[in-house]
Amino acid sequence: MHRRLLDYGITVLGMLASWVWGVMGPIHSLLMRLRWKRFRMYQLKTRPDDVFIVTYPKSGTTWMQMIAWQLKSGGSLDFRHIEDVVPFIDRCGPADLPRLEALESPRFFKSHLPYEDVPPGARYIYVVRNLKDVAVSYYYHYLLMEDFRGGLDAFVKMLVNRRVHGGSWARHVLSWLEHRDAPDVLFLSYDEMQKDLPGTLRRVARFSGIALDEARLPLLVEQCGVAFMKKLEARFDPRLSRRGNFVRKGETGEGLRELDATLQAELTAEEQQVLDRARVLDSSGALEQLLRGGAPPHEAAGEAVPQKQQKSG
């Protein structure tokens, strides 16, 4: 009897936690956007060689921050926290302007903003990740970061109902998908990064205008690997250094392994919006393959450094 009451109490608390975070998620997203709009009023001035690393949450943001810093610094580990050298611009305000201005070019910034909200006049690296993998990774993030007490099924419902930080995955991805071929946008997938990390470093270096020393590439690849980054756990999020793993597995396919058929089906409608648009934009199927988790080959020539900026204010 007591065990049943305990189980019932835990279930009720889980449902209550899901409801609270379901309400707070959209409010948090709105406040972040309003704060960013206010910050723009203080005239954050972008430079033509600035690079914004943009993703929907849990899509390889920290990984790409490390890649960017390793390329810029030539492999330096002389940083206390990754956001000291690649700031999270969405959380910056007027008081941060002197620090941001003092950063050497090319400056790299992290952001979770949709295309229409990022400041114009720069370059943009967008990383997309399979929604099912995002769901599982984001769930563990919520357990650690947000004190979420619900189950995976409750979190998936929050995600599809856009009650998480970042809002709609489909809306976010679609806003960038439309600009994937712009010369100031480098559109990558998480799977591409995992399958060809050396190639990813080369592409990011070319796009960012950084001269890559091929002799140092093996070192940079090692230091951008998940195993190495786990050793520097506290430098990516000190709040989790005693509670769990911020740098988890860096794997693809978690969604298929951890989500049952019912939960996968709940995510399908959200995912299908993006896949349908991908078929319209690219009838060859290569873009759809990339979004599903495939990594189509790239020509050896790679992307040229953009000569003009397509995003204007």
Cα–Cα distance between 159 and 92 in angstroms, integer? Answer: 26
Give the integer Cα–Cα distance in Å for 39 and 34. Answer: 9
> Is-catalytic flag, 112?
yes
Distance CA 291, CA 277 (A): 11
Report the helix count and the strand count for the chain, using DSSP H and E: 14, 4
The alpha carbon dihedral of 208, 211, 214, 218 has a sign of negative
**Lateral strand order in the sheet of 51-55:** 108-111, 51-55, 123-128, 185-189
Q: What is the dihedral of CA 278, 131, 162, 61, to 10 degrees?
A: -100
Indicate which residue of 112, 141, 165, 172 is catalytic: 112
Residue 161 gets the label, from left (phi > 0), alpha (psi -120 to 50) or beta, of: alpha
Strand partners, 189: 128
Contact, 45 vs 81, CB < 8 A? no
- State the catalytic residues: 112
